[in-house]
Structures are given as C-alpha cells and as structure tokens.
C-alpha cells in the first residue's frame, strides 16, 4: 500500500494544462496517476523572478477535487477578474506542484492548504502569497495523520526547491511565522474570534464611533495570533472595510510590515498610532475598524510628535470599532500608565457590551504547570518558592556568573542554528540597569553596554551589521533574528512581543532579595522613562517605578519557549534562586 505523498511538477501554461488533460482523460491509470488525477489534491503555483539580489516568487496555494478543471479555471477565467492570476500567466517560468496522497479527503486538503499558507507566508523568497483565505478544520478522519503527511510533503518539496521551500525548523524560528494569521486557532481563540466578528458586523451597521473590544491575557496567551487571524479575514472580506493595524513597538512593526507585503494588506494597513492619529485627525477621516497590538504601549500623555492627551481616546473617536490587545503587566514606562480608575472604566465599557475577552491558556512557554507557577510567583508575588520537580520539557537553570550564562546561551543558539542557517534565536536579555542611548558612545568611547565586573557585552543595536548582498536582511529581521545579536544583550523594549527558544536573563542590581522577598531598587535602575513621577488627572504626582520594574521582569522572564537561564547580579537573590531549584 502506498503510504507516502506523491508530487508531480507541471508547467503552469497551456502546455501544462494539455498534459493534465491527457493524464486526466486516460482511462487506464496506475495507483499513482489515480491519486493525482482522481483524488483530492493540494497544489502550489509559483513564478520565478530574480530581483537585484535574489530569487523572488509569487505563489498561489490551493486545493481541489479536480486538478485539471481547477487549473483550466485559473488559466482561462480567473485572469479576467484578478490581476494576480494574470501575472502568473504572463510569467515565463511558472510552475505548478501537484501533491497527492491516498488518504486525502476534502477536510485534509483544506487543512494542508492552511498549513502550506502558514509556512509559505514566512518564506523570505516569497514576495506575494495570493490565496489568503483560511479554512480551519477541526476533527476529521484521519486528522491525526495530517502533520506527518505535511512534514513528508514539505521535505520532498524542499529537495525540489530549497529556496522556495526552506527547512521547516528554520521557518518556525522566525518572528513572521509566529505572528502569521494562518496558525490553527484553539477552541478558546475560535470562540473569541466569533465574538469579535459579531461585534464588528453589528457596529458597521451604525454610524457611531467608539465601540471598544478589549482582549486581555498574560504574555504568551495567543493574543497576537488571534488578532492577526481576524485582521487578515476582515482585510480579505468583501466589505472593503477601512481597516488598520496599529503597533507602537518597532520590532513588531517590522514583522507586520513583512506580513502585509506578502499578503497584500495594503500600503498603509500597518502604521504606528501617532502617524495614524495625526493623519486622520488632520483630514477628519473616520475608519471602520482599528486593531491595536500591545495597546499597553499606547501613550497616555503627549510625547514627541504626539500632542494629544490619550492615544486610545483619540482612536475611539476615529473608528467605529477599536480592538485592543491589552496586558497591564507589560507597561514599561510612565507615559503608558493608565490610571486605575480609567482602566476600570475601559474594562467596564467593554464588559457592558459583551466585548471583554480574557485568554487564559499559556501558549508560548512549553513548560509544565509547576514551572510556570514558579515563574509567576517570582514575578507576581515577588516570592522565590521551592521547585522540586525537574521539568522534562522546559530547561530552567540559574548560573553563578554572566560568563556561564553567555556560554550556555551560545551553546543553545548553536543547536538552534542549522548548518546552512546562521540565525538562531536564543539570546541574552537584561533588566534596564545599565545606561543606554540610541546614538553615540559612553564616556570611555565604547558602545553602551552591560558591564558586570570584568564581563561586558554591548546593548542591543550597538554592533554594526555586516553588509550583505541582500541589503534588506539586517533591517527586515527582528533584533533576535539577526546573527550579530548573539554578541549583544537585548532590552525589554527590543524583545517585548517576541519569542526566544532559550532566554538568558541577566537580572541586574535593581532587583534584590531582602527579608524573604524580592524588592526593587529604583536607584540602581537606568530607565528614566520608568522612574519619573506621573501627574495624575487629579493633579497629584505619583511614582509607578516599582510597578514598571516588576513589569520589566515579567516581560523578560516569559520570553523563553523551551528554557529560561538566569544570572542575578544581587548575591542574595542569586543564592536563593539556586537553592530553590531542588531537583
């Protein structure tokens, strides 16, 4: 019995269609031909263009019960109404891979179509992905085989064209992969999605602005994937909505801009909040829907080019629906503080209209419950509890020196790195306890750096990037994906919203252990934006330094997917952390 996938390559033109017709019409077929031309199949159409630096592909992913009829439709009918099909037809070297398997049925081919779009939307050489629909499948027979079949299919395609189909593990490491709208949603996410889409549908019928949808949940709860999925569905809907995705985080802006280019979201679909607010207020231009990823980074007072009082209030005045991802435990500086009373009113507003969604599942850290609870106690309760059971899935270690931390993170990074791939994503990151400026050097003429005794490493974005033939590589990738950054230390501002395979966290001198509890020493903290007092709406000044320093620890300690390595500068903290791991 045939148990492996079958892949056959055809030219995507009239000659290829004629070959398909001949194969389909042939009455006597062997098993392989029968599987390709009579069973459901998935297929990938691609052209092959070289730009100035590298190969670039326009790609369409599809599935069908009749590959000949579907190809004929694409070549003869679809070109009349869609520019993307016309471009594929005019390409001189367009190809089509047809994939079959004896266990394919409609549900499985739809499932594999989604998986293909997830991976292909993350491939650097894919310039545009034309099929952008999602058809998430739940349970079907034999759904338990789908992942193994997909792995086999991708590996065979990789052997045919490694540029278009790179190693799967490499793609899984990328920030663009992790933010892709094509991930299969959990039951919790699906329920939230339907709730949000219903709210949007009802709000669009009205001329009012200011409907608020609030999605909360801890770091790693799947909020970004949910938002990306819904945004992609609405962008590609038939309603032609005026819709924008706003991000205040530089690294995340890069990621969403890459996704936007590949999926055709539109030139100004992804913007920073200040740019969006300034442009739309100036023109008095209202929109239908605004999504805000990491809305806890919105400014709540005037800053730089933003002269308003509160970015969220401004957005609510410009859009019929504002959908925000909000985690108050990830606010990092005073300009982002939402006063407790204001936050309660926002939550109440969302709850009253049934638009408050809390995601409970932890999806980033591949760790057992006891390990996650130990980390949460450290952050939320500022207590170091005893962890007696070794986590077989998650590597948690405390080191005696920054040298040991660096050595072990580099070992893990090397394991992350394939022999043909230089970008692992295990990195060192640290609390903001050493001075940093975006430009210039320190008083010694050296890059701004983290310095502990005679050990030192530059802060993020201090090392000059190598020149490459592909000039965009150092700029399109997030900080952690750039190979040189293994020699740097990332800050909370750089890694917030990102995943690391292993996070090597340096807990600086501002975090101490005294009298049985973790305490914060703001005199040792270098982030001035977290230290100055905030003038509240009642005119009183208040410090939020301790809260913001705790949030910083929250961001850093929840970055690692497979492991967390810690070095604490404070002797007492380091000793009690080491003693706590009793396994």
Tens-place pLDDT, residues 84-104:
898 898 887 899 999 999 999
Q: Rg of the Cα trace of the chain?
A: 26
Least confident of 266-275, 414-423, 495-504: 414-423
Decide which of 239 and 448 is more confident: 448
In which order are the strands placed within the sheet that holds 270-271?
Answer: 270-271, 243-247, 287-293, 319-326, 211-216, 356-358
Query: Is the distance from CB of 54 to CB of 473 less than 8 angstroms?
Result: no
How confident is the model over 250-285, as pLDDT tens digits?
Answer: 888 989 999 999 999 998 999 999 999 999 999 989
- For residues 14-40, give the mean pLDDT: 90
What's the distance, CA 550 to chain centroid?
Answer: 24
pLDDT at 42: 97
DSSP label of 413: H
Mean pLDDT of the chain: 90
Highest mean pLDDT pick, 210-224, 411-425, 557-571: 557-571
Distance from C-alpha of 293 to C-alpha of 318, rounded to nearest angstrom:
17
Listed residue (70, 160, 177) closest to 118, CA to CA: 177
The dihedral formed by the CA atoms of 99, 103, 106 and 109, expressed in degrees to the nearest 10: -40
pLDDT at 82: 86
Listed residue (423, 373, 402) closest to 173, CA to CA: 423
| Residue 58 pLDDT class (50, 70, 90 cuts) | very high
Does the pLDDT value for residue 145 go beyond 50?
yes
Distance from C-alpha of 528 to C-alpha of 543, rounded to nearest angstrom:
12
Does the pLDDT value for residue 542 go beyond 50?
yes
Does the pLDDT value for residue 241 go beyond 70?
yes
Does the pLDDT value for residue 1 go beyond 50?
no
What's the distance, CA 459 to chain centroid?
Answer: 23
Distance from C-alpha of 358 to C-alpha of 341, rounded to nearest angstrom:
19
- For residues 373-399, give the mean pLDDT: 95
Query: Is the distance from CB of 227 to CB of 91 less than 8 angstroms?
Result: no
Does the pLDDT value for residue 545 go beyond 80?
yes
| Residue 546 pLDDT class (50, 70, 90 cuts) | very high
pLDDT at 475: 45
pLDDT at 51: 60
pLDDT at 424: 61
**Angle, alpha carbons 315-318-322 (nearest 5°):** 50
pTM across the whole model: 0.86
Does the pLDDT value for residue 573 go beyond 70?
yes
pLDDT at 421: 44
Does the pLDDT value for residue 439 go beyond 60?
yes
Distance from C-alpha of 141 to C-alpha of 143, rounded to nearest angstrom:
5
Does the pLDDT value for residue 487 go beyond 50?
yes
- For residues 48-65, give the mean pLDDT: 82
Quick one: what percent of the chain has pLDDT higher than 90? Answer: 65
Distance from C-alpha of 34 to C-alpha of 247, rounded to nearest angstrom:
49
Query: Is the distance from CB of 461 to CB of 476 less than 8 angstroms?
Result: no
How confident is the model over 441-480, as pLDDT tens digits?
Answer: 888 888 999 999 999 999 998 888 776 554 444 446 788 8
How far is the first Cα of the chain from the last one, in angstroms, to the nearest whole number?
48
């Amino acid at each position: 019995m045939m148990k492996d996938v079958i892949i056959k390559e055809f030219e995507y033109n009239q000659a290829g269609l004629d070959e398909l017709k001949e194969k389909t019409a042939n009455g006597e077929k062997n098993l392989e031909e029968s599987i390709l031309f009579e069973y459901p199949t998935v297929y990938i159409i691609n052209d092959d263009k070289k730009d100035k630096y590298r190969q670039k592909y326009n790609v369409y992913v599809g599935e069908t019960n009749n590959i000949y009829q579907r190809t004929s439709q694409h070549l003869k009918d679809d070109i009349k109404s869609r520019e993307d099909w016309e471009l594929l037809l005019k390409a001189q070297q367009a190809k089509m891979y047809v994939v079959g398997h004896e266990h394919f049925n409609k549900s499985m081919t739809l499932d594999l179509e989604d998986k293909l779009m997830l991976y292909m939307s993350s491939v650097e050489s894919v310039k545009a992905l034309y099929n952008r629909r999602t058809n998430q499948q739940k349970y079907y027979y034999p759904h338990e085989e789908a992942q193994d079949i997909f792995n086999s299919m991708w590996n065979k395609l990789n052997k045919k064209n490694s540029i278009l189909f790179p190693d799967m593990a490499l793609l899984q490491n990328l920030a663009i992969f992790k933010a892709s709208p094509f991930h299969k949603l959990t039951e919790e996410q699906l329920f939230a999605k339907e709730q949000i889409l219903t709210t949007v549908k009802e709000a669009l019928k009205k001329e009012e602005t200011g409907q608020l949808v609030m999605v909360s949940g801890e770091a790693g709860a799947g909020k970004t994937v949910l938002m990306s999925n819904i945004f992609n569905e609405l962008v590609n809907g038939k309603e032609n909505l005026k819709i924008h995705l706003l991000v205040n985080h530089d690294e995340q802006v890069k990621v969403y801009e890459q996704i936007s280019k590949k999926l055709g979201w539109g030139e100004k679909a992804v913007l920073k909040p200040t740019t969006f607010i300034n442009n739309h207020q100036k023109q008095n231009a209202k929109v239908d829907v605004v999504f805000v990823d990491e809305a806890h980074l919105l400014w709540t007072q005037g800053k730089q080019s933003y002269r308003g009082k509160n970015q969220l209030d401004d957005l609510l005045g410009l859009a019929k629906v504002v959908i925000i991802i909000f985690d108050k435990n990830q606010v990092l500086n005073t300009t982002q503080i939402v006063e407790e009373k204001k936050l309660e009113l926002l939550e109440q507003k969302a709850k009253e209209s049934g638009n408050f969604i809390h995601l409970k599942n932890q999806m980033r850290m591949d760790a057992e419950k006891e390990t996650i609870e130990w980390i949460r106690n450290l952050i939320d309760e500022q207590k170091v509890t005893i962890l007696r059971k070794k986590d077989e899935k998650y590597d948690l270690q405390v080191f005696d020196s920054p040298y040991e931390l660096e050595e072990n993170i580099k070992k893990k990074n090397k394991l992350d790195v394939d022999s043909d791939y230089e970008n692992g994503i295990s990195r060192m990151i640290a609390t903001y306890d050493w001075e940093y400026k975006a430009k210039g050097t320190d008083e010694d003429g050296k890059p701004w750096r983290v310095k502990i005794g005679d050990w030192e490493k530059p802060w993020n974005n201090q090392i000059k990037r190598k020149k490459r033939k592909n000039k965009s590589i150092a700029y399109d990738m997030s900080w952690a994906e750039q190979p040189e950054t293994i020699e740097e230390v990332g800050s909370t501002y750089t890694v917030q919203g990102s995943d690391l395979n292993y996070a090597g966290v340096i807990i600086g001198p501002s975090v101490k252990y005294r009298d049985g509890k973790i305490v914060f020493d703001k005199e040792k903290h270098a982030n001035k934006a977290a230290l100055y007092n905030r003038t509240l709406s009642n005119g009183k000044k208040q410090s939020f330094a301790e809260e913001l320093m705790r949030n910083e620890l929250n961001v850093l300690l929840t970055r690692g997917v497979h492991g967390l390595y810690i070095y604490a500068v404070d002797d007492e903290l380091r000793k009690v952390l080491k003693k706590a791991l009793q396994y």
